[in-house]
Chain A
Amino acid sequence: MGKHKTPMLDELENGPWPSFVSDIKQQVEKGKHILKDAPDDLLGVLEMSYEDKVTHWKHGGIVGVFGYGGGIIGRYCDQPQQFPGVAHFHTVRVNQPSSKYYTTKFLRELCDLWDRHGSGLTNMHGSTGDIVFLGTTTDHLEPLFYDMTHELNQDLGGSGSNLRTPECCLGMSRCEFACYDSQEACHQMTNAYQEELHRPAFPYKFKFKFDACPNGCVASIARSDMSVIGTWRDDIRINQEAVKAYVGGELKPNAGAHSSRDWGKFDIIAEVINLCPTNCMCWDGSKLEINNAECVRCMHCLNVMPRALRIGEDRGASILFGAKAPILEGAQMSTLTVPFMKMEPPFDELKELIEKVWDWWMEEGKNRERLGELIQRKSMQEFLRVIELEPDPRMVDEPRSNPYIFWKEEEVEGGWTRDIEVYRTKHPR
């Protein structure tokens, strides 16, 4: 049994959902990890926080490995005497494979590595995507990194004011909606920008995420400074026989996603035609028609009838910039910037765009200013100029309503230099 009394945490062993407390306790008892006291003392300090209702981690902590400016989050307990096992409790971010497929062999190698150098506790995975090794001491960091690179051929992820670990949806590996290879794009961008990922050189953090369609299974539009979201620009492919099979009840709407409740018989008019946000669909009782020119590719009809409707064949991605959490200037989602770009390896056009954006932000961005805030401060127009894109009505939800319009001097005939005396010859004081 553990060495600390944890009556409150013990309560969290009850109930059906997997209990992190039970799991940590099993690591205390069975684990072969080197930092013997760490899981036990983690429970101890967590119990203390449950009593005090305040965290017991000291502010900040700067640790790392030679050659890199990030990848490890330093952490020290503010009660080291009572909980020596977590006096140092640093987190190591390990760059996960695109969309998190593993073989058991590799998973075990990771476990063995972490047993030799840490607490035996992990986060699978951090919200940015990394495999998170939770809790080790400073003297283990270099040996851990050495073994990880030499034995596993595996690198750290990002932290600090740099490119963070990119992440993607599972894309073409197991989804019929994928409009480009989000995994390959994610992998290639991660490798192309290793320097930017490991050595902080930016005003603040920067994230890439890759969704292969507008369903957004990796939430790129909300959680990345650059969101690459797959789409198509030709027609939705319709299999009329399969549409009839949905109408006839042989196929389950939305692949059966609502099947635990009786929503009545599938009604194509109510569930598809009338919910289309642009009203561009039509069903006459035997044939489904889509006015594709008016479709905004919201995915609804494809999601409801995946066996009847398929994405088009002229595929690529939309690129949006600027999402961020509220600090400092308020939360933002990414703004549509490039409506359509082809997405074929080696993704040269995308790289060119990324580098233009970085050049500008690295030059103009203030300390700890996210890209989305810089665009707000300097204007969307300025952003478009530096990345050399023409303005397009697709980039706005609506045109401005205030008339406080800036004009460039060269746009106005005669320029701005005027002589009041000339004016006075026609308009006496």
Chain B
Amino acid sequence: MSIKPKMVQWDPTDIKKELLKKYPPKVARKRAKQIMINEATECEAPPEIVANVRTIPGIITMRGCTYAGCKGVIMGPTRDIVNITHGPIGCGFYSWLTRRNQTDPGVDGENYIPYCFSTDMQDQDIIFGGEKKLEAAIQEAYDLFHPKAICIFSTCPVGLIGDDVHAVSRKMKEKFGDCNVFGFSCEGYKGVSQSAGHHIANNQVFTHLVGENKEPKEGKYKINLLGEYNIGGDGFEIDRILKKCGITNIATFSGNSTYDQFASAQHADLSCVMCHRSINYVADMLETKYGIPWIKVNFIGAKSTAKSLRKIAEYFNDPELVKKVNDVIAEEMPEVEAAIEDIKERTAGKTAMLFVGGSRAHHYNDLFAELGMKTISAGYEFGHRDDYEGRQVIPNIKVDADSRNIEELEITPSPDEFKARKTPAELKALEDAGLKFRHYDGLNPDLDKGSIIIDDLNQYEAEKLVELLKPDLFCAGIKEKFSIQKLGIPMKQLHSYDSGGPYAGFKGAINFYQEIDRLVNSKVWSYMKAPWQENPELTATFVWE
């Protein structure tokens, strides 16, 4: 497939028709519900998108599995827990250092991030069961490292052969006495994507770890930063800013995190949710059990960072913090504005497409807006309807057969530890002033009318979209990167940041502007034709000098 010159303005409904044309009828019917034209900003009843449903076999999806969502995403970045993959070697190998969760263990701190631990199941383990081997592996890990905790992650065959990882974990925890051992039933076939793995990780961490440390934590304006994984140092930059504002971050879930951070999360007075998809379960459970309210924040984009800091200050309602936050913003912004001023003239008016996991397609829209770029199409691999349409639709979401077996925990207020952080009157006053609790508006309202929103984009649709709409930049992951670039379109990885970053916070925004400037203005895209391809007919003879 090659890129034709840009056509006359395509109508979004025609684009959708084009995308569906090649499919067998059943596939076309299904995909039609996962592709929508955004009208949410003007229409009274915004159209529903179908999301979080099973993947079409053979379609070349971008999605991964539950194990990846649980071990790879949520638990992987925690440095002082020994994470053992219970399964054949692949799952552990592929999730070994491939997500860029940066880690600062300090001089003597524990750090198991560079290690891959696996039971490396063999055929006899499949036939006779792998519980004995798992038990021995946990013992060996304990003897070698004496970690604070050992976590066990189940892979596809574990569920099928009936290994009880939870029973083995309980037994070993009791045996050790000084090492928390617990397991995750995150078999790859559960749910329909990484998303189920997030939920399973949330449940187990909340059940086995959160609240373990009863010692109160020192510090003013105590928050949890939920759903921030420190890719390329994002979390470091956010922590720098929070510290400068005098805000105490008790626990990050889970970039550069420790056992103790999880164990102390109940001491915070506010939870700030970055990645809604992966961690909203913990945010809700912290509120129900301990009385900690949560708000949605976004530290991607300089303006969004400033806005999020102001929200936090507003919540704590202390003039000293409000002033400090405003001072920090005033101090950081000039450098950001200088960068935008330099770069924007080279990026303004360009178009982008964003197809990333479960939150970045939304967050990065803000950064592109700052560059004067327009997002013409976006979507998630594994977002749910609330990530697209906002949490108000949650009561209407039907859990289908493929996701029904993902456990929902029943959480009740802790009899001795629940403490409402704000009185109902205080909450009401904050809400009246515009602070939304336990709420997220989703991606759709922030996209222009006529943008094409696509859930679970596949290889065929990606190529077709690029061919038809010819964006100036396409954002997705490693599997998409090189096919898009072969088409001559700059491609930015928004999972790994192409080894760059940080992109969060004020300094991260500047990094990102420079990176996008480099990408969309690189000379390389002008080299695709050789001189003899541009002028194939010989019309002159060579002049020897």
B and A form one assembly: no
